[in-house]
Structure 1
């Protein structure tokens, strides 16, 4: 009797599976016969430009030379409050350090580079910017008046409101 029950259960499972497949096939066939509704037209951010072509850049005005902007979340890297057009950051030269290096901030009036930028991954203090923090624009971006790409309900962190 014990060997009969598992066989019956397997046969029942096969029967249920077969019935489900027949039902799905009938449902798909009736959907194919149904009149087509209006096609959905999707518009991507590329605006229909083929993938092998570039879109022309849109004009985005950067905020120019004013105080630091408020941050929207804890640990947010500060935004850059000036234009960075033409700034060069290579392994041998970093234009940002012309103003933001500690020894140059008194003359330039710029914000000093944070002490966190002088620590290695292991926490060792260096006497110069850590290589992992050298390329400023990996984290810091210029302020801009660009509108959001999509509507959203983002709100600043409660402690920063």
Structure 2
């Protein structure tokens, strides 16, 4: 049986997160956003410097492994005063989707959030991203539709929320 583990990332894992992001994004986003936007967003959010700033700003990154092989990650921001935690990034290599591993990452963030007294999770998803259905199956509901500028591009997203029991 294959062992999947989830562990907190450190500064020494930033290059791994960046490599995973590049691999997953190029397999996921063509057809959803332009190649130019993929390049821009990867450079803006997944350079080692950008990832280091996110860690310094209190983001928590969890890396998912199959044995010793990194296959995905989730990152979330510090809890807001309304007791909500935002999942800022959640990516799983497409070869591993459909194995309940994305749910494993969400469940871990939910557990850690509840231990800190959190009441809800929130995330954004591109309105054309098929992952929206996955989030709905995990208990998230759309609360808002937003168009957010990023550089010369736009993120056309849904904000989704999951109340924690």
Normalising by structure 2, report the TM-score: 0.24
Which fold has the larger relative contact order, with Cα–Cα distance below 8 Å and residues 6 or more apart in sequence? 1
Q: Comparing both structures, which one devotes a greater share of its residues to strand? A: 2
Normalising by structure 1, report the TM-score: 0.24
Q: Comparing both structures, which one devotes a greater share of its residues to helix? A: 2
In terms of Rg, which structure is larger?
A: 1
